[in-house]
Amino acid sequence: MDSDVQPNVLYDILRRISIKSILKLASGLRPQALYKILHDFLLHVSFRPLARAKPKNLFQLLQKAAAGTAGNGISIYSPGGIAQVGLRLSYVDLLTSSSLKAGLLSQIDGIKDDSVVLLHFDNHRDGIEWFWAVSIAGYIPAISTPFTHDVEARKKHLIHLQTVLKNPIILTSEHLVPEFLDLECLSIRTIESIQAGKNEGIVPILNRGLLKKGDDIAALMLTSGSTGHAKAVTLRHNQMLTSVSGKSIHHSTTPKDKFLNWIGLDHVANLTETHLHSMNLAAEQVHVQASDLLVDPLRFLIFIARHRITHTFAPNFFLASLRTALEKPEPFAGDILDLSCLRVLISGGEQCVVETCQALTSLLHKYGVHGEVIRPGFGMTETCAGSIYNRNCPSYDISNQSEFASLGSCVPGISMRVTSDSGEVVAKNEIGNLEVSGPIVFEEYFNNSKATAESFTQDGWFVTGDRALIDATGRLQMTGRAKENIIINGVKYFPHEVETALEEARIDGVTPSYTAVFPHRPKSSQTEVLCVVYLPSYDADDVLARVKATDAISTICTMQCGVRPYDIIPLTAVHLPKSSLGKLSRAKIRTAFETGVFAEFKTNNDTLLQEYRASQRQAPTNGTEASILKVFSETFDIPEEDIGINTSLFEMGVSSIEIIRLKTRIESELSLPNEIPIITIMTNPTISALSLALLELSNPKEYNPIVTLQSGGSKTPLFLVHPGVGEVLVFLNLAKYIVDRPIYALRARGFDADEKPFTSIPEIVSTYHTAIKRVQPTGPYAIAGYSYGSMLAVEIAKVLESDNEEVKFVGVFNLPPHIKFRMRQLDRISVLLHLAYFLDLMTEEHAHAISPAMHLLSPDEVLSHVLEQSPQARLSEMALDTDKLRKWTDISHGLHVIAHDYDPSSSVSKMDVFYAIPLAAVAKDKQDWMENHLSKWDGFVNEEVKFHEVDGAHYTMLGPDNVLSFQKKLRAVLRERGI
């Protein structure tokens, strides 16, 4: 046939003859003409029978998509080209192009019918077209993951792949060949060289792909190798087809949906979650390079709006990045973005933080998104990506007060169970080992019978390696990896929980989503220690930023685990490589740490920190300072040389108990004749300041209500007003978590010698208002109070606003507006009993039980009874005796008395109410507390009152068990209020 013949001349013939005959006739055509003939044939020939048929393999799936909705297909953006689509392929185009490429593959020297073809590309177009070429040709496509920058590790990986994939043909691009390190054992072919050859094998090739059976291997996907060498997961045709069908049923997807992907084809989050899922529907799909979105998360939303995307994917770290970007003022510079099209946002690869999902959902609603679109899911390469999804996020998780989102229920084609270590299925809500089974679960690791045998139970269930529970409603809740925990002094902690706390702290100098926490067992150590590595955002020579980041990380870890990290090391991005889903491999990072890969970074970091601290450290100048330094060192288990006389207690993560312990030990060490007031230590937190303060103890000092709990950070300061007991120790744990703004507490008058307690609420408000203005002369202001302190905070806010100052945050911690009835209820005996269980000297239940009997005794008799019944260890910790408890009771009772006639009046502009389980004496439950008491705040706020449910009860909401969740809620609200 003449090579210049026009394909349209053959059109009438093409409809009546087979594709095999066409290709024989066209064997002499130039590639472009051959492509046109094949394309026209596939486009015009009747596909109706094929469109109705159920595909039995991936080639038939592509054929069915080509026969489906006319014109639908794939839009691919070139790397770096985000302004417009770089390539548009209809499914007919993809079938045509890949069929022709399939014919070229048969010309490769040494290729066999069962050859594995390892595909290594760096863009969507090459990855997709050549994946389909290999599939159509009937060979086995294996998709390569991005290589590590560690040359030795890469070499080991490539040699391992040679073995496990049985000497594969490697197909790559010319510019990627150097990544293979010139290893002679590799059989590398470039697509450029293949496409320069003649296409003589397309006819038999098409038959091979078309006739593949359901149980034949469709693809090999490599695991991340986070626990050792990568394994090749065998995915079969029927498994993949069942998977995408199950996803479609579960998410109610249709041909009208439009899918957006930005993950590489080496991950099932692309291949099955998006690419094959949309192809199964003959729906539109859009592919963008990950690198083009990660630099600016808002581009993700722009692409959704531009292409009217309904279905997409983003792991938790990216959701957090989106949230941060959307919380900035005018994120789209005034442009109006319409995201009303978005229906499903799958999230997997790591646990989703409920607070992040809640905040992001609220932000997306501002751009037209309806209802709940974020769907956290569980999936693995072994289960063809997502197979269990939560379709009620975040509402379900909020109602259950969960920190991490539920993973929901199974798609058709998979079942789940949770078993004990002995293999028995456990009860609902009991933690155990997650196992899955069903037609979408893989059957074996390719060429690795040992790993396969170790991964399945005797009755054929796949052991995922995850710890989880199935709740009472049948939903899956992940609790961690079976082998991923840190055991410190016999207590088990989970790395992802510590990492989440560090991420949510938004520490200056720490790049989001690039922090890893892992255990290490030093030689001769009796327990594991905690290690942290992170990617710094500061310049390498900015030592002050390095020090601040290190101290903030140390503080958060101490709050989470009770111990300071053994090592905190800043690394480069090269040493913190991410998987396709943006995950860091803790196992690989730990191995690198323990084999000395990070040694140079550690040495350099330690040197810089030591030099800085040494330059800033001032040694004791007298015996008093030396003695206090000794107490500091012993109390906090920190070498004396690491503590200067200007080092603040609060930088060392001090707790209320440690302050009292310090007080007692300093009194003993210095043989002081007089007791040190707690406020003296809290307002003089350095050795230098405390030493001077001790010299002045005999001299009366002017009362100052302000106690600085946290001096660092650049955001708007937060002022916290004491509860009805008058003291501010309750805020110490909370302040440790908030490192981005100064935290000041206001302490009642009367605790120190010669101080007279307040006699009226106006006196308190005036005193505190003056003190706040002295610290922060102008707004905007943020102020909150705990219980009784909430009333004072509201009154102070009114005074500030009457002076035309802006108060952006008024926080009420579990107090209604009308309190005088309750204040009158609390006589001196009741106040003492309340103080007793506030100080953890007895339980709330016991205090209520003995109250009738106590009211038959005199105040001094009750005081004696409380001290006799209290745990002696707790009294010692709190340094409490008869006189101190009597004085504390006097102050607290006095505060209650001056509120006997308090009636709220006027209003503030805005308010946030944080509510916990109420006291038994004021409401029967949270609902009663909210509906009949707290809701009354509506009448005293001009703009809006927002209510935030928190964990714990009235006296425990800021306690050690609940402060972590409380601070997350508080910090989220502060962000929402623009401060």
- Provide DSSP, 177-226: GGGGTT-TT-EEEEHHHHHTS----HHHHHHHHHT--TTSEEEEEE---T
Domain contains 226: no
pLDDT at 669 over 90: no
Full strand arrangement of the beta sheet holding 462-470: 415-419, 432-437, 462-470, 476-481
Listed range (341-350, 585-594, 902-911) with the worst mean pLDDT: 585-594
pLDDT at 488 over 90: no
pLDDT at 663 over 50: yes
Note whether 793 and 862 are same-domain residues. Answer: no
Average pLDDT, stretch 877-881?
75
- DSSP letter at 88? E
In the structure, what pLDDT confidence band is assigned to residue 47 with cuts at 50, 70 and 90? very low
Cα–Cα distance, 106 to 679 (Å, whole number): 83
Domain contains 659: no
How many angstroms separate the Cα of 669 from the Cα of each of 34, 261, 634, 664, 666?
A: 94, 66, 12, 9, 5
Listed range (49-53, 83-87, 353-357, 975-979) with the worst mean pLDDT: 49-53
Distance of CA 911 to the CA centre of its chain: 28
Q: Is 442 helix (H, G, I), strand (E, B) or coil?
A: coil
In the structure, what pLDDT confidence band is assigned to residue 877 with cuts at 50, 70 and 90? low
Model pTM score: 0.63
Q: What per-residue confidence (pLDDT) applies to 48? A: 47
The answer to whether residues 220 and 139 touch, using CB atoms and an 8 Å cutoff, is: no
Q: What per-residue confidence (pLDDT) applies to 640? A: 84
Q: Is 402 helix (H, G, I), strand (E, B) or coil?
A: coil
Q: Which residues are CB-contacts of 518 (< 8 A; sequence separation ≥ 6)? A: 486, 495, 531, 586, 587, 589, 590, 593
pLDDT at 833 over 70: yes
In the structure, what pLDDT confidence band is assigned to residue 909 with cuts at 50, 70 and 90? very high
φ/ψ region of 465 (left if φ > 0, alpha if ψ in -120 to 50, else beta) reads: left
Average pLDDT, stretch 140-150?
87
Q: What per-residue confidence (pLDDT) applies to 9? A: 35
Listed range (107-111, 156-160, 222-226) with the worst mean pLDDT: 222-226
Q: Indicate which CATH number applies to the domain containing 604.
A: 3.30.300.30
- DSSP letter at 353? B
Give 490-494 contacts, CB < 8 A, sequence gap 24+: 490/527, 491/561, 491/562, 493/530, 493/560, 493/561
The answer to whether residues 871 and 837 touch, using CB atoms and an 8 Å cutoff, is: no
Average pLDDT, stretch 649-662?
69
Secondary structure element (H or E) that encloses residue 814, with its range: none
Number of neighbouring beta carbons within 10 Å of residue 939: 10
pLDDT in tens, 547-558: 999 988 987 887
Average pLDDT, stretch 279-308?
93
Cα–Cα distance, 712 to 549 (Å, whole number): 12
Q: Select from 838, 873, 897 the last residue of a domain.
A: 897
- Residue-number span of the structural domain to which 595 is assigned: 493-616
Of 202 and 853, the structure prediction assigns the larger pLDDT to 853
pLDDT at 690 over 60: yes
Domain contains 212: no
pLDDT in tens, 192-205: 999 887 665 555 56
The percent of residues above 90 in pLDDT, for the chain, comes to: 55
The phi and psi torsions of 348 (rounded to 5 degrees) equal: -155, -175
Note whether 399 and 448 are same-domain residues. Answer: yes
- DSSP letter at 271? I
Q: Residue 685: which of 630, 715, 717, 647 has the closest Cα? A: 647
Q: What per-residue confidence (pLDDT) applies to 18? A: 47
Of 138 and 4, the structure prediction assigns the larger pLDDT to 138
Average pLDDT, stretch 560-586?
85
pLDDT in tens, 67-86: 876 689 999 999 888 888 98
Average pLDDT, stretch 472-490?
76
Average pLDDT, stretch 819-838?
89
Note whether 973 and 892 are same-domain residues. Answer: no
Note whether 608 and 465 are same-domain residues. Answer: no
Cα–Cα distance, 915 to 948 (Å, whole number): 6
Note whether 955 and 932 are same-domain residues. Answer: yes
Q: Residue 367: which of 345, 346, 385 has the closest Cα? A: 345
The percent of residues above 70 in pLDDT, for the chain, comes to: 89
Q: Indicate which CATH number applies to the domain containing 313.
A: 3.40.50.12780
pLDDT at 208 over 60: yes
Q: Residue 41: which of 14, 18, 6, 16 has the closest Cα? A: 14
In the structure, what pLDDT confidence band is assigned to residue 1 with cuts at 50, 70 and 90? very low
Q: What per-residue confidence (pLDDT) applies to 425? A: 96
Strand locations in 814-954, DSSP E?
Answer: 908-917, 941-953
pLDDT at 615 over 60: yes
Average pLDDT, stretch 567-593?
88
Q: Which residues are catalytic?
A: 787
Note whether 551 and 504 are same-domain residues. Answer: yes
pLDDT at 51 over 70: no
In the structure, what pLDDT confidence band is assigned to residue 53 with cuts at 50, 70 and 90? confident
Cα–Cα distance, 663 to 654 (Å, whole number): 12
Q: Indicate which CATH number applies to the domain containing 756.
A: 3.40.50.1820
Average pLDDT, stretch 949-974?
88
Q: Select from 434, 455, 482 the last residue of a domain.
A: 482
Listed range (87-96, 409-418, 519-528, 611-620) with the worst mean pLDDT: 519-528
Number of neighbouring beta carbons within 10 Å of residue 833: 24
Give the best-scoring range by mean pLDDT among 242-251, 322-331, 958-967. 242-251
Average pLDDT, stretch 330-356?
88
Note whether 940 and 957 are same-domain residues. Answer: yes
Domain contains 774: yes
Q: Is the peptide bond before 780 cis (omega within 30 degrees of 0)?
A: yes
Full strand arrangement of the beta sheet holding 807-813: 706-710, 743-746, 718-721, 781-786, 807-813, 908-917, 941-953
End-to-end CA distance of the chain: 76
Domain contains 805: yes
Note whether 811 and 850 are same-domain residues. Answer: no
pLDDT at 16 over 70: no
pLDDT at 3 over 80: no
Note whether 809 and 941 are same-domain residues. Answer: yes
Cα–Cα distance, 812 to 947 (Å, whole number): 9
Note whether 811 and 851 are same-domain residues. Answer: no
Q: Select from 447, 482, 517 the last residue of a domain.
A: 482
Q: What per-residue confidence (pLDDT) applies to 107? A: 85
Domain contains 291: no
The answer to whether residues 292 and 267 touch, using CB atoms and an 8 Å cutoff, is: no
345 strand-pairing partners: 312, 374
Q: Residue 258: which of 213, 312, 314 has the closest Cα? A: 312
How many angstroms separate the Cα of 709 from the Cα of each of 405, 626, 688, 718, 971?
A: 33, 24, 17, 10, 16
Domain contains 961: yes
In the structure, what pLDDT confidence band is assigned to residue 46 with cuts at 50, 70 and 90? very low
Strand locations in 770-925, DSSP E?
Answer: 781-786, 807-813, 908-917
In the structure, what pLDDT confidence band is assigned to residue 50 with cuts at 50, 70 and 90? low
Domain count, the chain: 4
Note whether 506 and 536 are same-domain residues. Answer: yes
Note whether 592 and 550 are same-domain residues. Answer: yes
Domain contains 382: yes
Q: Residue 979: which of 640, 741, 683, 671 has the closest Cα? A: 741
Average pLDDT, stretch 660-677?
81
Listed range (235-239, 491-495, 870-874) with the worst mean pLDDT: 491-495
pLDDT at 415 over 90: yes
Of 212 and 640, the structure prediction assigns the larger pLDDT to 212
Secondary structure element (H or E) that encloses residue 709, with its range: strand 706-710
Q: What per-residue confidence (pLDDT) applies to 291? A: 83
Cα–Cα distance, 516 to 582 (Å, whole number): 12
Cα–Cα distance, 244 to 258 (Å, whole number): 15
Query: Mean of the per-residue pLDDT values for the chain?
Result: 87
